[in-house]
């Protein structure tokens, strides 16, 4: 991109900015305009005086320092920025969206990341054993498996004990029924 008459120098860090930037991309300083600096803003537009093709009746936008042709009632760049900002406010966050910059203006940005999904069992195991030595992984898996066997054995024992208690209650009930007869 070569310099154009509407490109500007940042008053804060003296970096060249393209005309569409409403604030400095490096330091965030607002674009110098007639509204912000008055006639002193012209010192930050080094090629403004060298514009060769000027139309009769054109004027400079006090907001963005763009050129307003005499057939237009308002600055087309400002109108487009307002339209895009309104569209960004009502649009859902799918795909690239407009993001406001600190000094005004906007740029395209990616939408926020989707919420994390729960990890699968395999992913959880990979996270648990990441960076461990293979022998340590095997030892841990054996401990988990023996612990699982112990839990299974305890569960079987509890089921067997509950079955014995049920049988004992049935026998006691049968004996009580016999004695009543």
- With a CB cutoff of 8 Å and minimum separation 6, the contacts of 27 are 10, 12, 13, 15
Cα–Cα dist 11/13, whole Å: 6
> From the DSSP assignment, how many helices (H) and strands (E) are in the chain?
4, 6
pTM metric for this prediction: 0.39
User: In which band, very low, low, confident or very high, does the pLDDT at 111 lie, cut at 50, 70 and 90?
Assistant: low
Task: Return the number of other C-beta atoms located less than 10 Å from residue 66's C-beta.
Answer: 16
Choose between 17 and 57: higher pLDDT. 17
Identify the pLDDT of residue 96.
54
DSSP E strands in 22-157: the ranges are 59-60, 67-68, 97-100, 106-109
CA 89 to chain centre: 16
**Mean per-residue pLDDT, 68-76:** 81
Task: Return the number of other C-beta atoms located less than 10 Å from residue 90's C-beta.
Answer: 6
Q: Which long-range contacts (CB under 8 A, 24 or more apart) does 85-92 make?
A: none
Cα–Cα dist 77/80, whole Å: 5
Nearest to 64 by CA among 2, 6, 3, 16: 6
Choose between 4 and 157: higher pLDDT. 157
């Amino acid at each position: 991109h070569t310099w154009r008459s509407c490109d500007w120098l940042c008053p804060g860090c003296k970096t060249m900015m393209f005309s569409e930037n409403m604030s400095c991309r490096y330091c965030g300083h607002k674009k110098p305009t007639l509204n912000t600096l008055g006639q002193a803003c012209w010192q930050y537009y080094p090629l403004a005086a060298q514009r060769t093709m000027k139309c009769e009746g054109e004027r400079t936008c006090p907001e963005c320092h763009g050129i307003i042709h005499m057939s237009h009632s308002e600055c087309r760049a400002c109108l487009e920025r307002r339209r895009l900002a309104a569209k960004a406010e009502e649009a859902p966050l799918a795909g690239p969206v407009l993001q406001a910059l600190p000094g005004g203006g906007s740029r395209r940005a990616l939408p926020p990341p989707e919420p994390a999904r729960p990890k699968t069992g395999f992913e959880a195991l990979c996270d648990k054993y990441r960076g461990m030595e293979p022998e340590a992984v095997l030892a841990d898996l054996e401990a988990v498996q023996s612990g699982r066997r112990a839990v299974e054995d305890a569960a079987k024992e509890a089921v067997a004990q509950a079955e014995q208690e049920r049988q004992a209650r049935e026998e006691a009930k049968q004996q009580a029924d016999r004695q009543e007869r």
